[in-house]
Structure 1
Amino acid sequence: MQLDTPLLQVLAPLMFVVGTLYLLGPTLPIARTWARELIFVCVWGVVAYYLVWRIGTTVLPADGEWYEVAWVWFCFTIEVFALADALILYIAFQRRTDRTPEADRHEARLRAMPAEALPRVDVYIPTYNEPFEVLEKTITGALCLDYPNFDVWVLDDGRRPWLKTFCESKGVGYITRPDNAHAKAGNINHALAKTNADFVALFDADFIVQRNFLMRTMGFFEDPKIGIVQTPHVFYNPDPMQTNLAVRKALPDDQRFFFEAIMPARDAWDAAFCCGSNSVTRRDALRSIGDALPTESITEDQLLTLKLLRKNFITRYLCEPLAFGLAPEGLQAFFIQRSRWARGAMQILYLESGPLGKGGLSLMQRLLFMPTHWLIQSLTFFLGVFIPVMFLWTGILPMVNVTIEGILHYLVPMIAAMIGGVCLFAPKQYFPLAVQVLGTFQSFKLLPQILATLVKPFGHAFKVTPKGGAARSGYDPLVFWTSASLIALTVGGIMINLVPEWRIISQAALIPVVASWSAINVIVLFLVCMMSLQGHARRGEERFVSDDPVWIVGPGDSQTLGRLRDISLSGAGVVTRNPEIFDDNVGARLKMFVTEVGFVPGTIVRTSGELVGIHFNLLPGIERDLLIRRLFTSGNLATNVDVSSWEGTAAVLRSIWATPTHLPLPAPQSADAAEVAPAKLPAASLVVQPEAGLHDWEEAVAQRREVA
């Protein structure tokens, strides 16, 4: 490759960007205003330098056939919109909040107040078709709230008799209605007319609230201008990318960037918004807009924030994992969810109460609520893999007068600066390659729907995200074969243009550049193909790593100590001190004492040295409820993946040749009798009457320990 300009001069901007990122990355105090401003100036200085070249050299001189000129201007227009979208993000990052110290003060104040002085809260769980294994955890978890003044209401739009019976057995309110008008928003509005608490906490049917949720959130309402308090959506199961690329332990779920980086920034601009689940809303704020959620959009939660902002009520964001839910368990569920979000956001653009409506919003709030990023990002990701194919097979360039020197001197430094700047703002949440793969993966199905919504914004049905076993199978043929076809076209185009007699590209000097771009696209598209092949769940219930001591009454009333290796609602893996007790006893029954739960009956399903696999035989009752309480409501569900942006990118690359493996588990400590709760085994676990409420669980646990 020959260059007309000295190499050092060509690479000077790239060296500046890489050097700046290297020097600032480990030491920059991102919480300081001057540090954020420094990143902004450096990044957008490089972008401005690029745009001067881009406009003056590669766009304005465009000539030739009309379609060639139109293609150049089309690509440039999309690029400008993408940069404008990125500019809004960078401006938003100039501010950020951390509400945890404030939540600490509020919690201390609330806990010091008498119970009767705390405001009453209605806890809503809207549901339509979720199965029992999902709803059981959500309802039971809600009853464990560490707050003295609340009522739980299940809002059943599926009108299921078994769910009504279950709610009655738990002492939970059950509300249904004769129709399903306005879907989830209509369901909630119907319940609002039936209840009257001062505040409403909302949890989707697949989210399990943590015990301290209300104590951490209710204190913010001391400020009368706070209309909603929102907390992040955190998941205890892997999302489709983590599952299908086998990166659960190497990469956070794809929503971490939004909830841990973008939402704290939006909160600082008073532009955080209600995400539906995991939120608390002031009833007086709802009364200011008609005592009902808006129904004009299928994303009623975001529209609710916009309407309340115009009534001077702010949505406050607390970035703490206070409820854990199910990420989409399959590709169908994933696309139903994202399609609803995209279409609902585009609908808001057309509404008087949207970001373009009259009055009540600051300029920054209007910019942050513009939903055009759904369209721009989908177009950008799709064009990123399509432009090289277009060039290789037709010779039509997306820009004119482009040279290798120009690309290395202007384009590459701009891309590096844009990506590197976001990595500095969100070093543990932003993973460039993962974003590229996910964005491309989404674009093949979302882009047509977004374009259709622009033409016809309303009249689209609300679809509930499937949960449970029905969401865990199948693959997506559209995404797979689109990606595979683009790979074939990309590789075929490179091969054809390497042969002088067949070459379509007239500028042979550009072949190395387009080949490099194409190589990156092939990697991305291959990962998209992998994502489109749905992995199968090994178990019906998620298992959580544990190292707690347990006491086992095994076959023939033998007694031994052990330590948990992992545990779920359906079973556990236990390392025992006396593995010979369980040899040749697969299928035998046993009882295992679990702290905070009591004796759990089970069956031996496998043995392997010191490890014993146990399937629980837990029928509905106090032990099952206590196990749900222990596993799902104590704040221990989060899978903390603490990796840098580049470590996460490397993990995604490794998934190309890696095969899915079982999750690594820590080696358990030796079992010690002194660490196990019961000093001696009782003849049987304490019987608790079925009508005992879950609010009495603490007393039941204390009684169990006295018996033990």
Structure 2
Amino acid sequence: MEALIPLLLVAAAILAVPPAAPDKPFHSAAVVAGFSLLLGNYLWWRLTVTVLPAQGLSFGTGFVWAVFLGELWLWYETLQLSLILLRRTDRSPEADAHEARLEGRPPDDLPAVDVMIATYNEPLDVLEKTIAGALALDWPRARLNIHVLDDGRRDWLARYCHERGVNHITRDDNAHAKAGNLNAAFRRTEAPFILVLDADFVPQRRMLMRAIGFFDDPGIGIVQMPHHFFNDTPLQTNLDMRASLPDEQRFFFDTIQPGRDGWDCAFCCGSNGIIRREALDAIGGQMPTESITEDMLLTLAMLRKGYVTRYLGERLAVGLAPETLDAYFVQRGRWAQGGIQLLYTRRGPLGPGLNLIQRLFFNPSHWLSQSICQPLVMATPAIFLLTGAPPLLQASFEDVARYQLTTIVAAFGFVHFLAPRDFAPVASTVEGMLQSFRLLPLVLATLIRPRGHGFKVTPKGSDAGLSREDRFTIVVALSLILATGTGLFLNADFGTRIVGAGELLPVVAFWSVFNMLVLLIVMTMAVPRPVFRAAERFAMDEPCRIVTPAATVGAEIVNISMSGVLVAPDGDTSKLAPGGWAGLEVGGVGIVPARLRRRAVIDGRNGLGFEIHLPPGPKRDLLIQKLFSNLPAARPTNSVAISGLTMLARVFEAAPDTRRPAEAVARDEVTALPDWLAEMTGELTFAAREREIA
């Protein structure tokens, strides 16, 4: 019982100490100092008692040192995170002041802005949203130059850009991928500020008004804004936790980037960033090309010239999250490769011209710990149970409780103290493990041979394909579960026990069960659920009208997307049969061609589910802008509410996705509108319009 006293004291402190507050720096400093002392005491015990006694060259000695070094790396990550979180900023009050000042200026006094939309092979259903969003930016059109940088050199996109009144820029080759694409456009443009957008990120109307004012500070080279998404990620979908599980980038963009901003170490994230051309010229007038993560190298190059990246943590653009596991792994693999490549370039974090904090914060330790250390943590119980080689020498159950368990609980409490609403330990563990199995071979290959890896574009939109299970992750996770379970089974009987009579067995048994549950959730995440929507739906409470040759009926929009809408009619619509056509009069858009697909009941009221058939053109742009260009501020997450039990409950509910997207079926079937509806709306069908553009 005496060994539990430190653990009980730590638990009491976690419950008693209020969360960190910006106006109480000494309070935060005291907690940081207390945790640092506790961690230092633990690591001294680990090294001197459980590691150094290992002698000779043997598997057991190597295993002890491997576990210790992996754990040491994870503790380094924890301390780095705590340092970052100590200085979180909120730039919204500054943005309010800048916006009010800019709105008071005559339009001709506002600076010119080049909007650059980088694209390679994205389809029209992705690009049209970004282009329409750029056209809707609240900025004088005469001071706004919109450029679509097409590395795919597509004739149909050139025609589409001409119709939309935006510039279509190409080059002769695809050297240096996205960075080279941007560099080619930099040489052909001259506005003092450059807004860079990925092909799938739709800017909000107020984006420039909120962000441009920060450049009044001559020391700011980039203003970066977060990545938010209008669709669910594969992780949210596969666990059926769309509403309760935040997308896994929220912790980075809502918590880590504001902390980095406080140290002047925020960095450009590829999209949703505005670049000062003067700062770009100071580093040679182009993006660095030594790494496929050119955005972070851009920030480092500007830091060396005295320009910082400022972070404005507001939802000022929304994008398309990876829609399938394949796309998700392509994206994360590219980030991991690029991060590790930074170690091998003179302009990376190990090169000259940076201070100690900048070197610490820009090293790619996260990718190394996630891809190497986390799998080691998962495999350690199985190795111990099947070989008898202990991960800790000379450690009793009391020692583990007094030192290790106490420090682990303190670490969770410490991060919760710094970010009380944003840290979900179980969710972050599961999401990290899902990535780690795929990243491990990629990271090792990049460490050995950092160059020669091609730039892989994340598949998006209709090019993303159908979700399919990730068999590699399933096989690896299942193998670890079976190995760990076999070890537990063998050591449960004295006749087959491999582990000696040491006191570590109860601790490792608990560790094993936790690991197997995490791996079970990882396997569930690796199997997609059915997706029945052709496009993301937005909830809406807005009147509309249903127009048919027979009658016009008032209705209320319940939810709407680019491909469908659910309405609750106020009058009789019994004469409208499934498959029948109607014109939906939507506020701010006009009359939209729609075909009835189903009837539903909404809170006791009759509902009608329509399929929208709105081809590329001005009216479709208006619908895009209505849905994507003026979204409300993001709701704060409450990650504490995400329990491991909730995630575990989803294990038994998943099913594979074998359904063809509904939107594709609709477009295949419809080739012409009824004459009365075509005359009323002046529209062709989507399929006919796409053929016309092509």
TM-score (normalizing by structure 1): 0.89
CA contact (8 A) 2:85 2:419 kept: no
1:154-553 equivalences under 5 Å are 154-359=148-353, 361-471=354-464, 472-507=466-501, 509-553=503-547
Counterpart of 2:275, as a letter, is: T
C-alpha distance 10-270 of structure 1, shift in aligned 2 (>3 A): same
C-alpha distance 325-440 of structure 1, shift in aligned 2 (>3 A): same
Name 2:631's counterpart in structure 1. Answer: 635
CA distance in 2, matches of 1:572, 1:636: 20
Which of 131, 135, 152 is equivalent to 2:123? 131
CA contact (8 A) 1:202 1:278 kept: yes
CA distance in 1, matches of 2:653, 2:632: 29
Name 1:122's counterpart in structure 2. Answer: 114
CA distance in 1, matches of 2:521, 2:70: 25
C-alpha distance 584-551 of structure 1, shift in aligned 2 (>3 A): closer
Secondary structure, counterpart of 2:223 in structure 1:
strand
| Cα distance per residue 1:459-515 (max 9 Å; x no partner) | 211111111133242221111100011111111111111121111111254332211
Name 1:692's counterpart in structure 2. Answer: none
Which of 133, 139, 152 is equivalent to 1:141? 133
Counterpart of 1:121, as a letter, is: V
Counterpart of 1:237, as a letter, is: N
CA distance in 1, matches of 2:440, 2:293: 18
Name 2:45's counterpart in structure 1. Answer: 53
Which of 623, 648, 669 is equivalent to 1:653? 648
C-alpha distance 133-648 of structure 1, shift in aligned 2 (>3 A): farther
Counterpart of 2:384, as a letter, is: F
Name 1:676's counterpart in structure 2. Answer: none
Deviation at 1:11, TM superposition (A): 1.1
Q: Which runs of 5+ in 1 are unaligned?
A: 1-6, 662-682, 689-708
Which of 53, 63, 78 is equivalent to 1:86? 78
| Cα distance per residue 1:624-667 (max 9 Å; x no partner) | 111101000002485x4632424354532332345589xxxxxx
Name 2:613's counterpart in structure 1. Answer: 617
Secondary structure, counterpart of 1:547 in structure 2:
strand
| Cα distance per residue 1:11-34 (max 9 Å; x no partner) | 112112221222235x65365323
CA distance in 1, matches of 2:53, 2:29: 35
CA distance in 2, matches of 1:582, 1:133: 33
Which of 617, 622, 626 is equivalent to 1:626? 622
Secondary structure, counterpart of 1:53 in structure 2:
helix
C-alpha distance 347-172 of structure 1, shift in aligned 2 (>3 A): same
1:571 aligns with 2:564: yes
Counterpart of 1:437, as a letter, is: V
Q: How many corresponding residue pairs?
A: 657
Counterpart of 2:619, as a letter, is: E
| Cα distance per residue 1:322-360 (max 9 Å; x no partner) | 00001111111111111111111111111111111112x
Deviation at 1:206, TM superposition (A): 0.6
Deviation at 1:685, TM superposition (A): 6.8
CA contact (8 A) 2:151 2:174 kept: yes
| Cα distance per residue 1:527-580 (max 9 Å; x no partner) | 1111111234222211111121222224x43222222211001111111223x4
CA distance in 2, matches of 1:604, 1:264: 47
Deviation at 1:101, TM superposition (A): 0.5
Q: Which runs of 5+ in 2 are unaligned?
A: 657-677, 684-694
CA distance in 2, matches of 1:589, 1:99: 49
Deviation at 1:519, TM superposition (A): 0.6
Secondary structure, counterpart of 2:485 in structure 1:
helix
CA distance in 1, matches of 2:455, 2:351: 24
CA contact (8 A) 1:95 1:269 kept: yes
1:19 aligns with 2:15: no
Secondary structure, counterpart of 1:47 in structure 2:
helix
Name 1:69's counterpart in structure 2. Answer: 61
CA distance in 2, matches of 1:70, 1:31: 47
Deviation at 1:99, TM superposition (A): 0.6
C-alpha distance 166-194 of structure 1, shift in aligned 2 (>3 A): same
* Percentage of matched positions with identical amino acids: 45
CA distance in 2, matches of 1:28, 1:452: 41
CA distance in 2, matches of 1:576, 1:618: 21
Counterpart of 1:519, as a letter, is: V
Per mean C-alpha deviation after superposition, the further-off stretch among 447-456 and 45-54 is: 45-54
CA distance in 1, matches of 2:553, 2:579: 18
CA contact (8 A) 1:591 1:599 kept: yes
Deviation at 1:65, TM superposition (A): 5.9
Counterpart of 2:300, as a letter, is: L
CA contact (8 A) 2:35 2:414 kept: yes
CA contact (8 A) 1:271 1:315 kept: yes
CA distance in 2, matches of 1:43, 1:582: 68
CA distance in 1, matches of 2:412, 2:578: 54
CA distance in 1, matches of 2:682, 2:479: 63
Deviation at 1:169, TM superposition (A): 0.3
Name 2:659's counterpart in structure 1. Answer: none
CA contact (8 A) 1:474 1:533 kept: yes
Secondary structure, counterpart of 1:505 in structure 2:
coil
Counterpart of 1:34, as a letter, is: F
Deviation at 1:193, TM superposition (A): 1.1
CA contact (8 A) 1:58 1:400 kept: yes
CA contact (8 A) 1:597 1:626 kept: yes
TM-score (normalizing by structure 2): 0.91
Deviation at 1:84, TM superposition (A): 1.6
Counterpart of 2:591, as a letter, is: F
Deviation at 1:88, TM superposition (A): 1.6
